[in-house]
Amino acid sequence: MVVKGEFNMKEIVLELEGLNCAGCAAKIEELTNDIDGVDSASLDFVNKKLRVNVEDEESQNITNEIKTIVNTLEPHVLVIEKGKNNHSHSHDHGHSHSHDHGDINKADILKLIIGGILFIIPYLFKLEGNFRLLVYLAAYIVIGLEIIIIAIRNVLAGQPFDEFFLMTVATAGAFIIGEYPEAVAVMLFYQVGEFFQGLAVSHSRKSISSLLDIRPDYANLETNGKIEIVEPEDVHVGDYIIIKPGEKVPLDGIILEGKSSMDTSNITGESVPRTVNTGEAILSGFVNKEGLLKVEVVKEFGESTVSKILDLVENASSKKAPTENFITKFARYYTPVVVYTALFIGLIVPLLFGYDIKDWAYRAFVFLVISCPCALVISIPLGFFGGIGGASKSGILIKGGNYLEGLNDIDTLVFDKTGTITKGSFDVVSIEAYGDVSKEEVLELAAYGEVFSNHPIGISIVETYGKEIDKNKIKNYKEIPGHGIEAEIHGEKVLIGNKKLFMKNNINILEKDSIGTVVYIGKGNSHIGTIEISDELKENVGEHIKDIKSQGINTIMLSGDNELIAEKVGNLVGIDKVYGDLLPQDKVSIFEKIMEENPGKVAFVGDGVNDAPVLARADIGIAMGGLGSDAAIEASDIVIMTDEIGKINTGIKIAKNTKKIVTQNIVLALGIKLIVLSLGVFGKATMWEAVFADVGVSIIAIFNSIRALKVEE
């Protein structure tokens, strides 16, 4: 159990082992949300996890209530509390019913074979009368007894309108009106369909799980010169681990000895191997291709990159897309409406108009067979989960179906400049000195002034100076936000900063035009020198921005640099609008103004170091290269593991593809159901078509959902 911390809330995570019925899953989620003390509950059908936010002191009672609900609806499902090893379940049936096909169940296959043989005997031997009825009845009981028992139990528990009840009423009704072969055939094909549907769900779950097969199984821990193979969880910060060629890196760390080539595709989606040397950081989930490495661990396993990725992707399903929420609500009303319509067709119409009750009852049974919204309830979450899984394989972490769907509606992308459009690695490119001052003196004064700065520009000046700095020679140090630094160095007043700082001090400067950052240095009351620091553009950034704009998206850039530099960078890469000279608080207010002006969704793209407030404010916050910054992961909705803006385009393509697949499934499922329902009313559809419209469509929709895993770069 994980303590949420706010408002004394706690999150309970329950694993529902053996849950393969989508309709039941929706019902469990709905009933859990109705429990007193539950703030919110979300059941992730793909991962079989139920996440419940509860008020702290209530948690144990609520867990017991949930177990009762699950036991009532799905007695074979085991409820496992996350973080506990005990399996708590009520009682276990000899085998799971036909919905549970994580593994192929031999008893189910045997039942279908025996039922199938009994079903064809009356045809083969042309049986008549009571004997024919008895054989069909035997076939019906073999195939359908389990469904009938579950249906009766659920009705007694106040849960009618599930597919077991609908199938039981429809097929029992068909028996009563003398349609024996059809009653058995419908139950048989329904069970065969459910069996294949179970296999399809299992297959798609495995496809998604294999995408996320990045969890390391073990770590080689070195203690006193000996190597011991341990669980990654048993390794702690400061321990030394050995990574052999071909092994996964189990925890984040720094290389102490050795160099190698790393396959980073699990984490970043990059296919080109990356060379790493002593002193460099490596992330868990990378695969060591060549050398033997000794690594010092810098993060516990729970905090490591692999854990964060798996956690983000697993939790993604709890943030449902609007389409998923719509389908959940739709399913809640769809089934009762169809059932009452069936009742009207089967009883009221023949009684009112004197039609043949047998004929109209048959039409009503067709309605009942078709009234389960399974195809939608299963395939839509699978589609979104597939999209999220496919994106993670490309190095794009999307924290929920709502953000994946939201990518379709972005009309404006706002970029931070440093570290997003540019590399964020600053280098001194020129030093100019005026009057009788040397370049060395200009650099020395600038380095002394910037020695306390942690800004990349200040750091690059200090690194370029490269000599020992005697901090005792610096007095009255003052940092002026948005202007620069004022200090006494060697007993003289020194100014280091931008044009605004010098205007404030009434000092004239020789202005320099540059696409880099220009730092002016003043001593006494005069401008003695200028240092130009340039930040490189990221590779292919212009192409990536062009691709994004080709999707009809507006681009805006925010920068703390002066307006002229920001404009130049914006023009170079083709950004529509640029705001410069911004302090961090200005970024938020400008961003809010942009959000008011744009009707669609506005996304913000930043490198996450100082962009957390804007990332959190955006409709969709996208953090670049974000695993370096915990603040970015917390504040953003999408984390791009590499520094490439091009991945945003990939993400938008994945979102559009997922939306297309989900829409196809909705149109297919509802379209075919409506056609067969219409034919059913006019007596033109048989129960066979109804079974196809229910189970057949589910299977097609599930296999269609798996396509969301495929990603076009």
**DSSP single-letter state for residue 125:** T
Query: Apex CA 93: angle with CA 92 and CA 97, to 5°?
Result: 125
Catalytic residue at 416?
A: yes
Pairing of strands 240-243, 253-257: unpaired
Report the C-alpha dihedral over residues 367, 372, 374, 380, rounded to 10 degrees: 90
Angstrom distances, CA of residue 539 to CA of 229, 455, 548, 553, 646: 41, 23, 15, 21, 10
Structural tokens at position 541:
């950034």
Angstrom distances, CA of residue 246 to CA of 260, 291, 361, 534: 11, 9, 66, 40
Pairing of strands 253-257, 281-282: antiparallel
Distance of CA 544 to the CA centre of its chain: 23
Distance of alpha carbon 26 from alpha carbon 49, whole angstroms: 12
Query: Apex CA 535: angle with CA 532 and CA 538, to 5°?
Result: 160
Distance of alpha carbon 386 from alpha carbon 710, whole angstroms: 8
The full 3-state SS of 297-325, as one line of letters, equals: ECCCHHHCHHHHHHHHHHHHCCCCCHHHH
Distance of alpha carbon 185 from alpha carbon 179, whole angstroms: 10
Q: Are 279 and 311 in contact (CB under 8 A)?
A: no
Tokens 């990654």 map to which residue? Answer: 232
**Sign of dihedral through CA atoms 182, 185, 191, 192?**
negative
Distance of alpha carbon 273 from alpha carbon 286, whole angstroms: 10
| Packing angle, helices 697-706 and 374-393, rounded to 10 | 10
Report the C-alpha dihedral over residues 461, 465, 466, 471, rounded to 10 degrees: -80
Angstrom distances, CA of residue 12 to CA of 55, 59, 513: 10, 7, 59
Structural tokens at position 245:
């060629």
In 151-238, where do the E strands start and end?
219-223, 226-230
Q: How many residues does the chain have?
A: 713
Distance of alpha carbon 111 from alpha carbon 148, whole angstroms: 15
Structural tokens at position 430:
């020129």
- Name the catalytic one among 416, 561, 619, 643: 416
Quick one: the chain helix, strand, coil %, rounded to 5?
50, 20, 30
Per residue in 189-225, is it b (16+ CB within 10 Å) or e — as a string? bbbbbbbbbbbbbbebbebbeebbebbbeebbbeeee
Strand-pair partners of 288:
262
User: For 680, phi and psi rounded to 5 degrees?
Assistant: -60, -40
Distance of alpha carbon 484 from alpha carbon 495, whole angstroms: 8
Cβ neighbors of 269 (< 8 A, separation 6 or more) are 393, 394, 395, 396, 641, 642, 647
Radius of gyration of the chain from its Cα atoms, rounded to whole angstroms: 33
- Which positions are catalytic? 416
